[in-house]
Amino acid sequence: MRILGIESSCDETGIAIYDDEQGLLAHQLYSQVKVHADYGGVVPELASRDHVRKTIPLIEGAFAQAGCGPEDLDGIAYTAGPGLVGALLVGTSIGRSLAFGWGIPAVAVHHMEGHLLAPMLEDDKPDFPFVALLVSGGHTMMVKVSGIGEYEVLGESVDDAAGEAFDKTAKLLGLDYPGGPMLAKMATQGQAGRFTFPKPMTDRPGLDFSFSGLKTAAANTIRNEGDDEQTKADIAHAFQTAVVETLAIKCKRALKETGIKSLVIAGGVSANTELRQKLERMMLGMKGRVYYPRTEFCTDNGAMIAYAGMQRLKAGQHAPLDMKTKPRWPLDSLEKV
């Protein structure tokens, strides 16, 4: 069985072709970073327009890369939510229309389920059940995953997502968009211990997250202390350390509460080297394993949508002909496979 995946929830246009026997056959990705850089963040209308321009050419490129055509497909998967409504409408309308025109079923995929299952694209994949930390610019949540569609949200951010806090703090440090990776790079030049920031909501029970207070603490320090490059690097180091330690504390708490020994981290922030090293050390001490997708599949991509769509297509799930998007779509409302 072979499926085309379309991802267009925010500022990346991702296209992939996945075969359930041969694996990933094609992977095409266009990032809109340069489009939005002058604005310091994603402009929804510009994102939608760029998806319109790029989606069909990328689909054609994926067919060429895979050496196949529409006649070889058994279905099309597209991201239906959550995300920017205009951007979602582009992928949804193209995916649903092509599926209708080619006479094959379509599958509406939850963006965060795609991230959850992205490690399954690797040879070394986790077994169910596992605890997943989904950490990106738009989401921070802890999920118990018992199977595909069997998701229990254990905790989530009550304000800023971790990736959002990274980007906003980076902007305060004078770094260009997208700031998260640039802040992480700056942090490698920072001196440990000069500044210490709070680890929010770790002094109380529960698995929810909050990063707005940490962002404010960093903003105040930047305003009062951040005049030279070394000081900025020291602040970046302290900020990243606080985020990483907060996430690690919550992960350890979730694993102990559930009794599960496998941890998955996914989403854009899961590419952060410091976070990966911290969680690997933690899991080694807990005699468990941590899994994550390769770096190119941490951020938004079509491969994860194709894989998630394949699982639901094989279970007989199809999207109706009407083109519905769900900018807000609870993960734990998904149907079990």
Tokens, residue 55: 């989606």
Give the whole-angstrom CA distance, residue 337 versus residue 41. Answer: 36
- How many angstroms separate the CA atoms of 239 and 270, rounded? 16
Element (H, E) at 242: helix 229-258
Say if strands 106-110 and 75-81 run parallel, antiparallel, or are unpaired: parallel
| Residue 161, C-beta contacts closer than 8 angstroms, at least 6 positions apart | 135, 136, 137, 138, 139, 140, 211
CA distance 173 to 3: 43
Annotation: binding site? 111, 115, 134-138, 167, 180, 272, 300
Which residues are bridge partners to 125 per DSSP? none
**Quick one: DSSP state of residue 103?**
T
Q: Where are the alpha helices (DSSP H) in 118-228?
A: 162-172, 179-187, 212-225
CB 232 within 8 A of CB 170: no
User: CB of 11 within 8 A of CB of 42?
Assistant: yes
Annotated binding site for Fe cation: 111, 115, 300
- Residue 306 tokens, joined: 């194709």
Sign of CA dihedral 313, 316, 321, 322: negative
Write out the binding residues for substrate. Answer: 134-138, 167, 180, 272
Q: In whole angstroms, what is the distance from residue 171 CA to residue 165 CA?
A: 10
